Structure 1
Amino acid sequence: MGIVVNLDVMMAKRKMSLTELAGAVDITLANLSILKNNKAKAVRFTTLEAICRALSCQPGDILEYVEDANQGSRIL
Structure 2
Amino acid sequence: MPIIVNLDVMLARRKMTLSALAEAVGITLANLSILKSGKAKAVRFSTLAAICQALDCQPGDLLEHGPDPADLRPGADGE
Fold conserved between structures, TM > 0.5: yes
Corresponding residue number in structure 2 for 1:48 = 48
1:70 aligns with 2:64: no
Please provide the CA RMSD for this pair.
Answer: 1.2
Q: What fraction of aligned residue pairs are identical, expressed as a percent?
A: 68
Distance in 2 between the 1:51 and 1:69 partners? 27
Indicate the residue corresponding to 2:16 in structure 1: 16
Find the residue that maps to 1:43 and give its secondary structure.
Answer: coil
Q: Any runs of at least 4 consecutive aligned residues in structure 1 with deviations exceeding 6 A, and if so which? A: none
Per-residue displacement from partner, 1:32-57 (whole Å, max 9, x unpaired)? Answer: 00000111000000000000000000
Give TM-score scaled by structure 1 length: 0.90
Number of residues of Structure 1 aligned to a counterpart in Structure 2: 72
Alpha-carbon shift at residue 67 of structure 1 (Å): 1.7
Structure 1 residue runs without a partner (length 5+): none
Distance 1:69 1:38, change over 3 A: closer
Q: Which of the pair is proportionally richer in helix?
A: 2
Alignment gaps of 5+ in structure 2: 73-79
Describe the SS at the equivalent of 1:22. Answer: helix
Distance in 1 (CA, whole Å) between partners of 2:38 and 2:70 is: 19
CA distance in 2, matches of 1:31, 1:52: 16
